[in-house]
Amino acid sequence: MGWPCIGETLQLYSQDPNLFFFTKQKRYGEIFKSNILGCPCVMLTSPEAARFVLVTHSHLFKPTYPKSKERLIGPSALFFHQGQYHMLLRKLVQKSLSLQSLKNLVPKIEALALSSMENWAHHHHNNNSHVVNTFKEMKRFSFDVGILTIFGYLEPHLKEELKKNYWIVDTGYNSFPSNIPRTQYQKALLARKKLGKILFEIICERKEKKLVDKDLLSCLLNWKGEGGETLNDDQIADNIIGVLFAAQDTTASVMTWIVKYFHDEPKLLESVKAEQKAIQKSNEEDNLTLSWNQTRNMPITYKVVLESLRMSSIISFPFREAVADVEYKGFLIPKGWKAMPLFRNIHHNPEFFSEPQKFNPSRFEVAPKPNTFMPFGSGVHACPGNELAKLETMIMIHHLVTKFRWELVGSECGIQYGPFPLPLNGLPTKFWRESTTYN
């Protein structure tokens, strides 16, 4: 269990989690215990165990987050809950992110992707090369996509205010929760209060308009239960902030890894480019923009996205807590202990994915075995935004490979964890428009 109190937290958070988990798995087998962040944990590394905790016996394991994080997002956000309230909110979020709703968003997401990239390449005409932090830029893009799916249209001044305070909350989210004024965490709590105020203003305005739109805010506002009950403003605000959080770093991390994998695998980039240029060409001939059906028909690109999700395993594991003593395969998971299915170990296990450290999209020509590929989790808490995440990634790739060139700056290997795995320093990169010459 490591040191008293902090256990093995430092070992886990300061090195490649692959190393930490695999050494343990080698020594102890598919189930072992540890102590992370002061909590005794049972780590599970088999597909069957992941299914047991997340799907078949999910009622025995509740999602659990540190209180400090709950306060920053809002206690009514759906991922802090289990049972009926969770099911209801999950349905509403799914409705706003359903394929039907996403279809109409393609041109808008495309416009956001293009304006983001124009920005990255913007600084080249005056002969000085501008280095961008790929992860930060991808975060801006995924934030804008999040705003679009939550609010539809949002007035620029409100969007700016939201953005400003959201970034402060975001910065404090993984900082040490302290009661000392002016620490990152306390600044984040203040910014969260401001976010609440801005959201109440938007909610109030929307209530007066009585719109029947498909965006998340409309879905939450217009919901009526069988007894005429509705969601209150706090519940709506907490869930909006929850969705913004969920939509952000995860998607941005994967998109950042994709830029890096393209750089590492030039042959692969060529085949993706060929696929996307063919789509671009047919659209240019008929003066069309990217269509929903085209985004559903990019087989080479899609496999690259799946392999990037497997390789990077952004969510290394979910935290669950046993609500009772649970027995699994003769092991006792005591009530109150955390149970952590290790997605990362499963995704990097040679039994399920041969030569797991090799980037090989063609492995997805055959569907992975059940419960061996869970980039979006599994069961009642699986990510309801998975289609949106894949869609914005495909749209980003389409424009990136057909209109831009890029080169990485500085050290190309190295991974940082904060808390998601990322290329070092957010992958500093220079971007050019395809038509401009290198300088």
Rounded to whole angstroms, the Cα distance separating 380 from 186 reads: 33
pTM for this entry: 0.92
Cα–Cα dist 388/403, whole Å: 23
Cβ-based neighbour number of residue 330 at 10 Å:
6
- Nearest alpha-carbon partner for 258 in 401, 115, 85, 101: 401
428-433 and 404-408 strand pairing: antiparallel
Distance CA 281, CA 295 (A): 15
Residue 439's pLDDT is what? Answer: 44
Residue 438 has pLDDT above 50, yes or no: no
Partnered with residue 415 across adjacent β-strands are: 423
User: pLDDT (tens digit, 9 = 90+) per residue, 90-111?
Assistant: 999 999 999 989 999 999 999 9
Contact call for residues 274 and 324 (beta carbons, < 8 A): no
Dihedral class, residue 203 (left if φ above 0, else alpha if ψ from -120 to 50, else beta)? alpha
Sign of CA dihedral 42, 48, 54, 58: negative
**Lowest-pLDDT range of 6-10, 20-24, 186-190, 197-201:** 6-10
Query: What is the pLDDT, as a whole number, of residue 134?
Result: 96
Q: Where are the alpha helices (DSSP H) in 104-183?
A: 106-121, 134-151, 156-173
Amino acid at position 311, single letter: M
3-class DSSP state of 6: coil
CA separation for the pair 343, 348 (Å, rounded): 9
Segment 112-116 shows an average pLDDT of 96
Confidence of residue 413 (pLDDT cuts 50, 70, 90): confident
Percent of the chain with pLDDT over 70: 92
pLDDT tens-place string over residues 122-179: 755 555 568 999 999 999 999 999 999 999 989 999 999 999 999 999 998 888 888 8
| Residue 374 tokens, joined | 């869970």
DSSP assignments along 370-435, one per residue? TTS--TT--GGGS-TTHHHHHHHHHHHHHHHHHHEEEEE-S----EEESSSEEEGGG-EEEEEETT
Please state the rounded mean pLDDT for residues 222-241: 96
- DSSP-assigned letter for residue 7: B
d(C-alpha 136, C-alpha 307), whole Å = 22
Give the residue-averaged pLDDT of 249-277. Answer: 96
Share the mean pLDDT of the chain.
Answer: 90
| SS3 readout for 298-367 | CHHHHHHHHHHHHHHCCCCCCCEEECCCEEECCEEECCCCEEEECHHHHHCCCCCCCCCCCCCHHHHHCC
Q: Is the pLDDT of residue 28 over 80?
A: no
pLDDT score, position 13: 54
- Between CA 68 and CA 78 the distance in angstroms is 16
Using only the alpha carbons of the chain, give its radius of gyration.
22
pLDDT digits (tens, 9 = 90+) for 273-319: 999 999 999 999 999 999 999 999 999 999 999 999 999 999 888 98
Examine the pLDDT at 71 and tell me if it is beyond 80: yes
Mean pLDDT of 399-427: 86
Residue 258 or 31, more confident? 258
pLDDT at 4: 52
Spell out a b/e string for 189-219, using b for 16 or more CB atoms within 10 Å of the CB, else e: bebbebbbebbeebbeebeeeeeebbbbbbb
